[in-house]
Amino acid sequence: MISRQQLLRQSGTRQTGGLKVIPFVLANAALERLASNALLPNMIKYLMGGYGMELAHGTQVIFFWNCAINFMPLIGASLADSYLGRFLTIGLASIICLLGVTLLWLTAMIAQARPAACAGSRACEPPTPAQLALLFSSFTLIAVGSGSLRPCSLGFGADQLDQRSRNKYALESYFNWYYTSVAVAALISITGPVYVQDNFGWKIGFGVSVVLIFLAVLVFFVASSFYVKHSASRSVLVDFAQVIVASFRKRKLPLLLASAGDQCYHCEKGSECLAPTDKLRFLNKACVLTSNEQEVAVSHGSALDPWKICTVEQVEQLKALLKVLPVWSTGIMVWLNVSQDTFRLQQANSMDRHITSTFQIPAGSFSMFVVISVITWIVLYDRVIIPLASSFWGKPVRLGVKLRMGIGLLLSCIAMVVSVIVEHVRREKALASRRDENQVATMSAMWLIPQCAILGLSEAFNAIGQTEFYYSEMPKSMSSIAGSLCLLGASVANLLASLILSLVDHMTSRNGNISWVSSDINSGRYDSYYALLAALSFANLIYFAACSWAYGPCKADKPEMEEEEVPIVGTRRGLDEA
């Protein structure tokens, strides 16, 4: 029998996709993360030193910037799935990110782009609207480019793999190594570039990010002719809106069971999906046929008014999204705890960061221990723990996705408890020695490593489990949306973190009291702030247990079956077997 490769060679057709293009996809994703993540650790220093912002104000700006970066994946994924396709979306997003990083670099290069530096007794000048507009324009471009690229890279890499090998174990391995590549990039970004920024200034430091994102654009387009490029289908978000509108317009129709009959529902031509499931049945009214002649075109079977009658597939897509939302909301707390970088930076600044008598770790680089923990666990889990366990039991062994998410939430809670203890001890030592905010306490900054390591483990368990959960539970046509949900959770976490910070600052600074999150770290009560996050994390763990129980078993945790043996939810075969 002639193989597919032989047929391609005989026909002169270039084979696309496969493992040979995965390095280009991963390199693009990793270089983008390396370039953009290098800007974050020291950004509070740039805003406070270059633009005269207070700690709370600068932290709010960073929270909102992170929120925009993590919200854009939803928009980028929708554009990729519906209009542009993943290849074009990644290409455009990479170029936009390059423009944003270049604009930020220009704010450091051009003296007039920033307010004049304070000198002697002269008061610091506030930034002008034009200067802030230039700064925030760079943040916006970076958020649009970086945020749109990330979910598409995940799905685009999966598109290149042989479809026959895309079982749940292959997906788990792919997600692990994709996450490893971007985690390694994140590790490098908070060590090398941060060191350059601290020792050589913002001009060279931001210039490094410009070079890195330029390489990301170049690497991606070099392999352009070898990619598998799936064309966009239709807007999933529009489909969701149509289902909601159609179900509302038909709200007076009686509810039908899924077994009521195939002819009651509108399906796409040639579709295997004959009837909707019984879950969330109020949405089923959107695909109920009341009059074939008035609702469906006889010639091609399409809806005459898609805002009045939808297909079973559209209904099931919306159900899949709504079903995962409670579980998705539990992951927000993990991202909220991880996002407290500016406070860890202030803590590190007030502690002894020396490793040797001549070298000390930059305060902005302590987040590297979070990333080191992520990378270490992923490698051990995928290459050591799972193979050994599978060999011991004589069958494939793996931790279920919901179990991994739950472990991540528990570790996140523990990390906050450790943060409370370390900060309480640090503050007591600082006050005992009567040191102010500009003096270095005798306590070693290495005591920050345990909480960073536990936070990294928390992220590794929860974030990778979430990604596989969404990708397995949602239809293939929604893969980019599935890939963006985890990042969307991070976006909501930044908004929630900003809200909590504002409330804590307002409530604790009333009546002339010193705020818990004061710029003077020794006068503030960061330990009490961390205790509040620990209490919220514990409550979130209980909430996750309830959501996990209500969701029931998920596809990724079911015993592996051959592809042709898997009942398709909503199909006639699936309904008969149910």
Confidence of residue 178 (pLDDT cuts 50, 70, 90): confident
CA distance 550 to 402: 12
Higher pLDDT, 70 or 162: 70
For residue 437, is pLDDT > 60? no
Same domain, 304 and 367: no
Confidence of residue 103 (pLDDT cuts 50, 70, 90): very high
- pLDDT tens for residues 499-546? 888 888 888 888 778 888 877 788 888 889 999 999 999 999 999 999
Backbone angles phi, psi at 17, to 5 degrees: 75, -165
Same domain, 320 and 433: yes
pLDDT of residue 301: 62
Same domain, 137 and 178: yes
Q: For position 326, which CATH number holds?
A: 1.20.1250.20
255 in a structural domain: yes
Distances (CA, A) of 528 to 60, 366, 499: 19, 21, 17
Query: At which residue do the structure tokens 């390489």 appear?
Result: 215
CA distance 25 to 527: 42
pLDDT of residue 123: 53
Among 189, 214, 233, the domain boundary falls at 233
Among 259, 288, 310, the domain boundary falls at 310
For residue 574, is pLDDT > 80? no
pLDDT of residue 414: 95
pLDDT of residue 540: 94
Confidence of residue 197 (pLDDT cuts 50, 70, 90): confident
Confidence of residue 417 (pLDDT cuts 50, 70, 90): very high
Same domain, 348 and 303: no
Q: Identify whether the C-beta of residue 330 lies closer than 8 Å to the C-beta of residue 492.
A: no
Q: Identify whether the C-beta of residue 475 lies closer than 8 Å to the C-beta of residue 498.
A: no
CA distance 42 to 347: 14
- Signed CA dihedral, 331, 337, 340, 345: sign only: negative
Same domain, 331 and 437: yes
CA distance 544 to 329: 9
469 in a structural domain: yes
pLDDT of residue 577: 34
Same domain, 182 and 213: yes
- pLDDT tens for residues 11-36? 444 566 666 777 888 888 888 888 88
Give the mean pLDDT of 330-346. Answer: 86
Q: Identify whether the C-beta of residue 534 lies closer than 8 Å to the C-beta of residue 423.
A: no
CA distance 459 to 374: 7
Give the mean pLDDT of 309-316. Answer: 83
10 in a structural domain: no
Confidence of residue 173 (pLDDT cuts 50, 70, 90): low
pLDDT of residue 97: 92
Q: Give the residue numbers spanning the domain of 346.
A: 316-552
CA distance 7 to 5: 5
The model carries a pTM of 0.71
Same domain, 181 and 229: yes
Which two structure tokens, joined as six digits, stand for 555?
């596809």
Query: At which residue do the structure tokens 């077997």 appear?
Result: 577
Same domain, 97 and 67: yes
For residue 10, is pLDDT > 50? no
For residue 140, is pLDDT > 80? yes
For residue 337, is pLDDT > 80? yes
Query: At which residue do the structure tokens 């091609």 appear?
Result: 300
Among 256, 280, 310, the domain boundary falls at 310
564 in a structural domain: no
Give the mean pLDDT of 84-102. Answer: 89
pLDDT of residue 14: 53
199 in a structural domain: yes
Give the mean pLDDT of 222-247. Answer: 80
Same domain, 286 and 331: no
Say what angle helices 129-160 and 168-189 make with each other, to 10 degrees.
150
Higher pLDDT, 134 or 235: 134
Same domain, 377 and 324: yes
Mean pLDDT comparison of 94-108, 260-274, 546-560, highest-scoring range: 94-108
Q: What percent of the chain has pLDDT over 70?
A: 81
565 in a structural domain: no
pLDDT of residue 399: 78
- pLDDT tens for residues 461-505? 898 888 888 878 887 767 667 767 887 888 788 888 888 888 888
CA distance 154 to 362: 32
- pLDDT tens for residues 252-302? 887 765 455 555 777 776 666 567 777 888 888 888 877 766 677 665 667
Q: What percent of the chain has pLDDT over 90?
A: 15
Query: At which residue do the structure tokens 């991070």 appear?
Result: 490
Same domain, 93 and 143: yes
- pLDDT tens for residues 358-399? 778 877 778 788 888 888 887 788 778 878 888 878 777 777
Burial tier of 392 (Cβ tally within 10 Å: 0-12, 13-18, 19+): exposed
154 in a structural domain: yes
| Alpha-carbon torsion angle 102, 103, 104, 105, nearest 10 | 50
152 in a structural domain: yes
pLDDT of residue 137: 92
Give the mean pLDDT of 39-62. Answer: 82
Confidence of residue 2 (pLDDT cuts 50, 70, 90): very low
pLDDT of residue 101: 93
pLDDT of residue 7: 41
For the chain, the domain total comes to: 3
Average pLDDT, the chain: 78
Same domain, 191 and 258: no
